[in-house]
Amino acid sequence: MVYSYDDTNIFARILRGEIPNKTVLETEHALAFHDIGPQAPVHVLVIPKGPYVNFDHFAAEASAEEIADFTRAAGEVCRIMGVGPGEGGQGYRAISNAGAHGVQEVPHYHLHILGGRVLGGMLKRAD
């Protein structure tokens, strides 16, 4: 499988420090920051520092160390933001959009962590 990463995307620019962000957590292989257009009281994006287009790219080509670090970082964000049920929070949704049908806007893999309110049903059928 061939993935093509465009390093002019906005999250690549955030990682290079060209655009500011409101950082929640930074680890060796991941960065978490507040979404610029929050869809819920808690809306944090977790991104790997490596050049991965989407979840399946990351799953296929990231190292075990990157995957572990990213996953732990995402879990830590839930704790920091107070939404993790294991820490007494009320819960959250973790979403990753990919490609055209997933309606992915930014072509750098990211996990949305949403919470702080009841988020409603997951999806509505379009047909």
CB of 81 to ligand 5GP, least distance (A): 15
| Rg of the Cα atoms in the chain | 15
For ligand 5GP, the binding residue among 27, 35, 75, 89 (CB under 6 A) is 35
Whichever of 100 and 118 has its CB closer to ligand 5GP, that residue is 100
- Report whether 115 contacts 77 (CB < 8 A): no
Of the residues 29, 57, 110, 112, only one is catalytic, namely: 110
Q: How many residues bind ligand 5GP (CB under 6 A)?
A: 12
Please indicate whether residue 110 is annotated as part of the active site. Answer: yes
Q: 């499988």: which residue's tokens?
A: 1
| CA distance readout (Å), 91 to 68, 114, 116 | 22, 9, 8
What is d(CA 71, CA 58) in angstroms, rounded to the nearest whole number?
A: 12
Min. distance of Cβ 121 from ligand 5GP in angstroms? 19
Residue with smaller CB distance to ligand 5GP, 67 or 106: 106
